[in-house]
Chain A
Amino acid sequence: MIATTREDFREILRLVRPGARVLDVGCGEGELLELLTREKSVDGQGLEISPAGVAACLARGLAVVQGDGDRDLDHFPTRSFDYAILSKTLQQMREPKHVLSELLRIADQAVVSVPNFGHWRVRASLMVTGRMPETRALPDPWYSTPNIHLCTLKDFVDLCRELDLRIDACAALVTGKSARPIDPTKPLENWRSETALFLLSRRTEERAGAVPTDLFGEVALPAAEPEAPKRRRRRA
């Protein structure tokens, strides 16, 4: 087992194919890139906003550009990477939709993880306390949370459909446990997945020479029709 405390790192490590070109958006101090470089011999590049993070990456010998995922993704030429990784920060972006489409302009595939606001703890927290939910995955009070664009699994799947993205794989992440492959379109998963990690690609373009890293099989998205009112769900 790879020594890392972050369950999403283990999953990303599994998804990325060896020798790939990887852009890690919001790479922090470069732990993931270093791991990917060591274990998968990737050709890595980081984008990080904090000077301390950038300095730490440089000291690790990583290539890193100081910048803001919201503003500076235009640094990178179209299709210059095999993977663009955005781990647990999409919900902190000012324009998540734009960022998501930028990731898939720059790279053939994007690895994106998002906390699920549809998780039962979140729903229960709001329902019981009547206050903004504070959970394991979303621990900050409303006035100081960096998470300004939260979504549920269902919302995220809708956005992928709108951007014409294919979900190549999806896994539910729970702290301290191994990842569980899921079909994110299943309502039950929207209740029970705390965080979901997606492997996405463009649907419209053929990926020349890319071998799909399809671990769980492509997830068939239901056609975009307004959902009929469902029978009442039991309480979670």
Chain B
Amino acid sequence: MTAPATATPAIEVNGGTYRFPAGKGLRLDSGATLEPLEIAYKTYGRLNEDRSNAVLVCHALTGDQHLASPHPATGKPGWWSRFVGPGLPLDTDRYFVICSNVVGGCMGSTGPSSTNPKTGAPYALSFPVITIADMVRAQAMLVGALGIEKLFAVVGGSMGGMQVLQWAADFPERMFSAVCMAAAPRHSAQNIAFHEVGRQAVMADPDWRGGDYERHGVSPSKGLAVARMAAHITYLSEVALQRKFGRELQRDGLSWGFDADFQVESYLRHQGASFVDRFDANTYLYITRALDYFDLASQHGGVLAQAFRRARDVRFCVLSFSSDWLYSTAESRDIVRALNAAGCRASFVEIETDKGHDAFFLDEPELDRTLRGFLGSAAQARGLP
């Protein structure tokens, strides 16, 4: 385990890449075994003596382990730095916060751009299809390797929230509490449809080369940018888009052509263009696939409550955002209903906001208050100072 410390004055930041010991690969849901396996991770704060203050944060589709420290590729603050740090809801003076790049990712964990040991070339499409449960199994192995038997909390939004649910189904005895934000217990037809548009955009780019773009020294960045543009719309709400852009123009008057006349066009183009600098096209295919395959109930005889039957000792907090149409409040309520049916201790909050799905990244005082209240009281119950 390498641990290059990049401490900022305020938070103790550590991390590195965990390489699983030889012979200890990751058995995947598809039947394949992934070996060798590396998981890149970051930690914030300090693990206490009895190792009871560890919080695992699970990232979303295009997120990564750079939770509360600057992103190495973009230099921007970590994706959840509003919520993780000293005095913040995930208080790094109190908790030891871990975030790892999912298996299949492109920020240091083994994924389609890693080298296939059999060929010496990047895996590309020979990388096995992975699932949310595979991601969680890799995280559980990492957490074990860090010497943590029981996490104080597992926290995540969107795809991260689905990982939280999967944790509760597969490793309930290894977690004390769970926070599931803006997630769903399964991918709907509409969710799959949007992902298919994204994947087709990537694969329609001539530079994709059947997935082998790295060997050809090219990159399907146009296709990936279009995929991101389409997906980005689903992360916002109609109201928020209208408020931010309306029909405002970039310049005075129309171009009478196909330049980005409207500010919203320019914004989306920028979102697409900046995304390709930090994300791998094949990883996008694999992770969207993992999401599409996610259906927690189907793993438990079609009854969602069955997934949580071993999680009765876990304290749950489920959060949704009123304007989220990607994973709606109704889907969060389904989760809560199943938790209640399983006899779990569950709280649920719908946060009133017009910011859409991405609200969990943003400055939402109600989210701040909810996380503080839930984690604070759970910490008390766990006996954390």
- Which residue of A has the minimal Cβ distance to B369? A55
Residues of A within 8 A of B337 (CB): 74-75
Q: Is residue A66 within 8 Å, beta carbon to beta carbon, of the partner chain?
A: yes
* Interface core residue of B336, B352, B373 (most chain A CB under 10 Å): B373
Q: Is residue B130 within 8 Å, beta carbon to beta carbon, of the partner chain?
A: no
Q: B373–A51 contact, CB under 8 A?
A: no
Instruction: Tell me which residues from 39 to 58 in chain B have a Cβ below 8 Å from any Cβ of chain A.
Output: none
* Interface core residue of A56, A59, A75, A76 (most chain B CB under 10 Å): A75
Closest Cβ–Cβ distance, residue B36 to chain A (whole Å): 43
Residues of A within 8 A of B349 (CB): 51, 54-55, 58, 66
* Interface core residue of A45, A56, A64 (most chain B CB under 10 Å): A64
Q: B348–A55 contact, CB under 8 A?
A: no
Q: A80–B348 contact, CB under 8 A?
A: no
Question: In the complex the two chains form, what is the Cα distance from A63 to B350 in whole Å?
Answer: 14
Q: Is residue B274 within 8 Å, beta carbon to beta carbon, of the partner chain?
A: no
Residues of B within 8 A of A139 (CB): none
**Total inter-chain residue pairs, C-beta < 8 Å:** 64
Residues of A within 8 A of B370 (CB): 54-55, 58
Residues of A within 8 A of B369 (CB): 55, 59
Question: In the complex the two chains form, what is the Cα distance from A124 to B381 in whole Å?
Answer: 52
Residues of A within 8 A of B376 (CB): 59
Instruction: Mark contacts of B239-253 with chain A using CB atoms, 8 A cut-off: 1 yes-contact digit, 0 otherwise.
Output: 000000000000000
Of B315, B336, B351, the residue contacting A51 (CB under 8 A) is B351
Q: B343–A80 contact, CB under 8 A?
A: yes
* Interface core residue of B351, B366, B369 (most chain A CB under 10 Å): B369
Q: Is residue B317 within 8 Å, beta carbon to beta carbon, of the partner chain?
A: yes
Q: A65–B347 contact, CB under 8 A?
A: yes
Residues of B within 8 A of A62 (CB): 347, 377
Q: Is residue A229 within 8 Å, beta carbon to beta carbon, of the partner chain?
A: no
Residues of B within 8 A of A74 (CB): 337
Instruction: Mark contacts of B345-385 with chain A using CB atoms, 8 A cut-off: 1 yes-contact digit, 0 otherwise.
Output: 11111111000000000000010011011101110110000
Residues of A within 8 A of B346 (CB): 63, 65
Question: In the complex the two chains form, what is the Cα distance from A51 to B349 in whole Å?
Answer: 7
Q: A60–B347 contact, CB under 8 A?
A: no
- Which residue of A has the minimal Cβ distance to B329? A66
Q: A75–B377 contact, CB under 8 A?
A: no
Q: Is residue B341 within 8 Å, beta carbon to beta carbon, of the partner chain?
A: yes
Q: A58–B340 contact, CB under 8 A?
A: no
Q: B347–A77 contact, CB under 8 A?
A: no
Q: A60–B340 contact, CB under 8 A?
A: no
Q: Is residue A61 within 8 Å, beta carbon to beta carbon, of the partner chain?
A: yes
* Interface core residue of A60, A64, A65 (most chain B CB under 10 Å): A65
- Given A55-B369, A58-B374, A61-B381, does the pair A75, B347 have CB atoms closer than 8 Å? no
Q: Is residue A181 within 8 Å, beta carbon to beta carbon, of the partner chain?
A: no
Question: In the complex the two chains form, what is the Cα distance from A60 to B374 in whole Å?
Answer: 8
- Given A51-B351, A58-B374, does the pair A75, B333 have CB atoms closer than 8 Å? yes
Closest Cβ–Cβ distance, residue B221 to chain A (whole Å): 42
- Which residue of B has the minimal Cβ distance to A78? B341
Question: In the complex the two chains form, what is the Cα distance from A105 to B378 in whole Å?
Answer: 30
Question: In the complex the two chains form, what is the Cα distance from A58 to B349 in whole Å?
Answer: 10
Q: Is residue A96 within 8 Å, beta carbon to beta carbon, of the partner chain?
A: no
A sample of 10 cross-chain residue pairs with beta-carbon separation below 8 angstroms, ordered by A number, consists of A51-B366, A54-B347, A55-B369, A59-B372, A61-B378, A61-B381, A65-B340, A66-B349, A75-B336, A76-B340
